[in-house]
Structure 1
Amino acid sequence: MFGQVLYDVEVDVPAGDAWELYGTLQLAKVVQEGLSPMVEKVELVEGDGGVGTVLELTVAPPPGAQGPMIYKEKFTKIDNEKRIKETEVVEGGLLDFGFTLYRICFEVVEKDKDSCAIKLKIEYDVKEEAASSASMITSKPLEGIASVTTSYLLKMKNANAN
């Protein structure tokens, strides 16, 4: 069973500035700091921030789970020209609940020279026998990421203006 969840936010910063965050490892640091204690830990396992980079995340358990959830995600696509980044869970996490795919996609779209839209998407696929696990997928992680990164980007913009 395939599904997706979308969340978009507009930010009053240039698309290039937003991509400097979303297209790099800095995103993990900002998310960890901004979403603590929900995101307990983010560790670089391998890579330099390019395609193939693997992070290990420790997050608060989803509804119905016991204890923190630990999983690895891999950067599977980074397109600096189109400003698109995709990560997929490759070990643990929701894969342990019958998911065969859990992908987060980030896209930064220029609106004008001083603003952009950040499009966030979760794509997932779950085995038919575990279809009830699909209820674990909500827009909350996307909303949290968007809130934290928007605040960070606006803070950086204001700091650079002074």
Structure 2
Amino acid sequence: MWKQFSLVFFLLFGCYVGVNSHPQPLKHLTNELEVHAPASEVWEAFRNLGILRLAAQQNLIQSFQVLKGDGGVGTVVKIIFIPGNSSYTERFIEVDTKRRLEVAQGLKGDYLAIGCSVQIVTFEMVEKSQNSSIIKAGIAYAVKKGFEAKNPRPNIQLVAALSQLLKNFVEN
């Protein structure tokens, strides 16, 4: 009887803690870039790892390695930055072709290695007009407890550079 009571108590307590614990709020960094091309064209160039292939060809990153998947949800990619001494691994958690949206969660490296507990990168291609769109890119992140004073903040520059690279590719 006592064992059953203990089990029920711990299950209820665990549910209570899970429901009433508030994770740290995410901070957001954003970048928007207008492109003189339809959002569907921009998405086609971006999706299925297209932006990473383009970034490696243009030496924006050293290389990338697909650890799992084919560019859809669940794909895990390791990105090696120039000069090659650091890397970042992410998993695609949402790929929505209809909304032209990709969301990736950082798993290892980059700012996760120096104090961020969460790093989520989003890219969305939004139709502005028939021949114009906006690349909305962003990073959402949270800082680990104990690292607040160091204020580790992801750098939006690579995300902005990827957007610019995509814009140049599609417009030319």
Settle same-fold status: TM greater than 0.5.
yes
Q: Deviations over 1:24-83 (max 9, x none)?
A: 21111112223x2x521111111011000111111148xxxxx72122111110111111
Aligned partner of 1:88 in structure 2 is 105
Q: Does 1:27 align with 2:51?
A: yes
Aligned partner of 1:145 in structure 2 is 162
> How much has 1:10 moved relative to structure 2?
0.6
CA contact (8 A) 2:143 2:152 kept: no
What letter is aligned with 2:51?
L
Q: Deviations over 1:109-128 (max 9, x none)?
A: 10111111110011011113
**Partner residue of 1:3 out of 27, 36, 40:** 27
> How much has 1:142 moved relative to structure 2?
2.1
Aligned counterparts of 1:132 and 1:108: Cα–Cα separation in 2: 35
Q: Is the radius of gyration larger for structure 1 or structure 2?
A: 2
Unaligned 5+ segments in structure 1 are 62-66, 156-162
Aligned partner of 1:70 in structure 2 is 87
Unaligned 5+ segments in structure 2 are 1-23
Question: CA 1:144/1:126 → structure 2, altered by over 3 Å: closer, same or farther?
Answer: same
Identity %: 25
Length-normalised TM-score, structure 2:
0.78
Aligned counterparts of 1:48 and 1:142: Cα–Cα separation in 2: 21
What letter is aligned with 2:81?
V
CA contact (8 A) 1:97 1:133 kept: no
For the residue of structure 2 that corresponds to 1:5, the secondary structure is: strand
What value does the CA root-mean-square deviation take over the aligned residues?
A: 1.8
> How much has 1:91 moved relative to structure 2?
2.1
Bigger CA drift: 117-126 or 130-139?
130-139
Greater RCO (Cα-Cα under 8 Å, separation 6 or more): 1
What letter is aligned with 1:127?
K
**Partner residue of 1:119 out of 120, 133, 136:** 136
